[in-house]
Structure 1
Amino acid sequence: MIRLSDVTYTYPDAPGPTLEHVSLDVAKGTITGVLGASGAGKTTLAKIIAGFIPQVDGGEVTGTIEVDGQDLTRLTLVEAVSRVGLVIQNPFNQISGARYSVREELAFGMENFGTPREEMARRVAEVADLLRITPLLDRSPYALSGGQMQLVAIASMLVLRTPVLVMDEPTSQLDPAGTRLVFDVLSRLTEAGVTVIVFEHKLELLHEHASRLLVIADRTIAASGDPTAILADPRTDAWGVGATRYTRAGRLAGERGLLPASTPLPVSFDQAVATFSRGGRS
């Protein structure tokens, strides 16, 4: 569904590339999590996959960027947006400012694509119910809290029904309940064939929902694989990724001799219960 081959990108007037020799394949109908330290290039990669680079940000791109067999660098921004929806970290910057209510804001993108009015109304109602923002529909987008605004920004992409969603820290302003709601919704979307790439720091939820994790470090993809293997990797600190509370507990237990050195580190709650209940014995 998504394929990047040997992609290198340099921002205009930058002394060197932000990302180099990035290659990845993402299967249709999956959730892929992307991890990395602050400044590692996660947002840049999100914009590349969404077609905003180089169409909006300019700069120089080499390599191949494909979504569903289409070369994104050869598409207009409108064509790219019809294929890939991008949710950015700051929801205030994603609100159009051209509409006076949340209902109108959610319909705005569909208006630009010529969606019939009845279809727009149906999609707005469905997505608002899905994200539990129906009571906000007649309020101004700028009269909302940061978390509410973030849900509206996510909803504004979901109504477009793009086959690919790129989410750049979509839960940064949400409380735990809102965060879990968003991840649950993303999992439901993949069941319908939507492909999701999530750039996040919430490791335990990524472990629960993602089928694969990628790590960006040293301007490229430093690691890729099963979420348990990636999150238990001893290089996570060097990558600036951190670890789940369960992995940290496992490391501490190992340092204190409470677990054999060969014990696989737990990543999730269930893994931690199993590991500590048997004292690391397999």
Structure 2
Amino acid sequence: MSLIELKKVTYNYPLDNEPVIKEVSLSLEKGKVYGLIGNNQAGKTTLCNIIRGFIPSLFFGELAREVMYKDKPVQTYNVGALAAEIGYSSQNPFTQISGVKDTVEEEIAYGMENIGIEPEIMKVKVQELLKLFALEALKEKNPYELSGGQKQRVALASVVALDPEVIILDEPTSQLDPQSTEEVFQIIAMLKEQGKTIIVVEHKVDLLAEYCDVVILLEDGRVVKCGETHQLLNDRTILAHGGSLP
């Protein structure tokens, strides 16, 4: 049973002649971890923005065919409501810190405040997340005073705070050292255990090999390969399409 379904989806940015996403068909199941790989211009971030409904509602341009979430077209959802169901964390944690809160604790609570979660429930949830993301010692610190790895953990905790069903992580470890990178992937494993569906855009294929169920290889806006991780990452032909082997 698919949670997210794309059927021959094609997308053009407003001023582009060429589509950046070309006839992409994908079926994403609940509770699995999907690794999205490919060269820098393959269209990975664009595909993530299509899945979370930001295209075409915020980026405009021309989207052909349908993207379904829970058997309903993504366009029929309110973008704000969808953001609570499909969480997104970008590669730059600096852009994800709200800038309006003075402590890590308040920062994690910020999204929950915005959607009107009861204060008592929010307090309990924030404490759980501080523990889960190993942020208890930093809870009184200003988010801007943290290291890149710590900021990324706060950004991730803020996404998880809204309890989304799907979590999209767009190069979550691009600015992190090896230990912080490993910690992020341990969090991914933990979220999977909670039944979350996770899409990870990542260049570190060794980690994808360890944590993903399925790997999708994108090249020039097309899905050129999609399959179980151990099979796809043992297939030498992916090297010709911008993929890499562990």
TM tier, smaller:
over 0.9
Cα deviation per residue 1:85-131 (whole Å; 9 max; x = unaligned)? 00011111111112222111111111111101111111111112111
With a CA cutoff of 8 Å and minimum separation of 6, indicate the structure with the bigger relative contact order.
2
Deviation of 1:204 after TM superposition, in Å, equals 1.2
Shift of 1:191: 2.1
Please list, as runs of the form range in 1=range in 2, the aligned pairs for 1:256-267 lying within 5 A after superposition.
Answer: none
> For residues 111 and 175 of structure 2, what CA distance do their matches in structure 1 show?
23
Q: Which residue, out of 141, 144, 147, partners 1:142? A: 144
- The question of 1:229 aligning with 2:236 is answered no
Aligned partners of 2:174 and 2:232: how far apart in 1? 22
Deviation at 1:148, TM superposition (A): 1.2
Q: 1:210 — aligned with what?
A: 212
Distance (Å, rounded) in 1 between the aligned partners of 2:169 and 2:40: 16
Which position in structure 1 is the counterpart of 2:197?
195
Give the CA deviation at 1:176: 2.0
Q: d(CA) in 2 for partners of 1:87 and 1:164?
A: 11
- Unpaired runs of 5+ residues, structure 1, are 245-282
Aligned-residue CA RMSD in angstroms? Answer: 1.3
Deviates more, 1:17-26 or 1:74-83: 74-83
With the length of structure 1 as denominator, give the TM-score of the two structures: 0.83
Residue identity in the other structure for 1:130: L
Q: Does 1:186 align with 2:180?
A: no
Where 2:27 maps in the other structure, the secondary structure is strand
Matched AA of 1:228: H
> What are the within-5 Å matches in structure 2 for residues 44-55 of structure 1?
44-55=46-57
Q: Runs of 4+ in structure 1 displaced over 3 angstroms?
A: none
- What corresponds to 2:12 in structure 1? 10
Match of 1:125 among 124, 127, 137: 127
Larger radius of gyration: 1
Contact 1:49 1:166 in 2 (8 A): no
CA contact (8 A) 1:9 1:20 kept: yes
Partner SS for 1:6: strand
| Partner residue, 2:168 | 166
User: Matched residues, percent identical?
Assistant: 40
Instruction: List runs of 5+ in structure 2 lacking aligned partners.
Output: none
Distance 1:152 1:70 in 2: 32
Contact 2:33 2:197 in 1 (8 A): yes
1:155 pairs with one of 151, 154, 157: 157
CA distance in 1 between counterparts of 2:99 and 2:9 reads: 34
CA distance in 1, matches of 2:97, 2:17: 32
Deviates more, 1:33-42 or 1:227-236: 227-236
